[in-house]
Amino acid sequence: MFYLVDVEEKVGVEAQKLKQNIKESIEEKLEEMHLKEENGVFLGVVEIKNVGETGEILPERPYIYFDVNYTTLFFQPVQNEIVEGTIAEIAEFGPFVRLGPIDAFIHISQITKEKLTYNPEQDIITTKDGKFVIKKDEKVRALVANSSISEERIRVNLTMRQDGLGLIRLLEKEKKLKKKEEKKK
């Protein structure tokens, strides 16, 4: 999910943004350049390892280009990966789960095998009998069903229907019950 990428590329910095410390100017430029791309969601520059000694000026371009070798941190959800997050928003069709820098989606049909409905007055998703309730700020464990990240958008779909997945408070309660049963044996 989180991973480091070593990159070598030419980075153009506007002359007026050059500072005494060229690495600082380049890091600021890199932060502007990389937001979302095929590697995932860019979280930041970890380390600038090397900057070419001289910059290159190209005709009709307002930048000074430097050869730069740096390491970045990316976030990329991987299919079938188990993740934990917090419910950030409840919608009629399912909750959105905050996973680090992004919100992923769980369709209401992928939460549990039981039939669920959305209650707009309370902003919750619940079973008819009210024994199972999902609300904002709940912690969940889910599986990444699929994901796609591009410059235009981020789309991550989750499921919680398999064993060992779901609301963390219920999973912990279930675990405690199993331990009690094992002690009785």
Whether residue 178 sits in one domain with residue 103: yes
Whether residue 92 sits in one domain with residue 156: yes
Structure tokens at 47: 């380390």
Whether residue 109 sits in one domain with residue 65: no
How far apart are alpha carbons 4 and 72 in whole angstroms?
Answer: 6
Give the Cβ contact number of residue 149 at 10 Å: 20
Whether residue 146 sits in one domain with residue 105: yes
3-state secondary structure of 24: helix
How far apart are alpha carbons 98 and 88 in whole angstroms?
Answer: 6
Structure tokens at 93: 């069709």
pLDDT tens readout for residues 71-93: 989 888 899 999 999 999 999 99
CATH of the domain at 63: 3.30.1490.120
Domain final residue pick, 22, 48, 75: 75
Secondary element (H or E) of residue 182? helix 168-184
pLDDT tens readout for residues 123-170: 999 998 888 999 999 999 999 999 988 777 889 999 999 999 999 999
What is the tally of structural domains in the chain? 2
Find all residues with CB under 8 Å of 137, minimum gap 6, and list them. 86, 87
pLDDT tens readout for residues 62-76: 889 999 999 989 888
Residue 35: its pLDDT value, please? 57
Find all residues with CB under 8 Å of 86, minimum gap 6, and list them. 97, 98, 137, 138, 139, 140
Burial class (CB in 10 A: 0-12, 13-18, 19+), 159: middle
Structure tokens at 62: 């307002």
Determine the structural domain holding residue 58 and report its residue range. Answer: 2-75
Cβ 17 vs Cβ 31: under 8 Å: no
Residue 39: its pLDDT value, please? 65
Residue (of 85, 94, 138) closest to 118 by Cα position:
94
CATH of the domain at 105: 2.40.50.140
More confident site: 141 or 59? 141
Find all residues with CB under 8 Å of 39, minimum gap 6, and list them. 5, 74, 76
Whether residue 171 sits in one domain with residue 87: yes
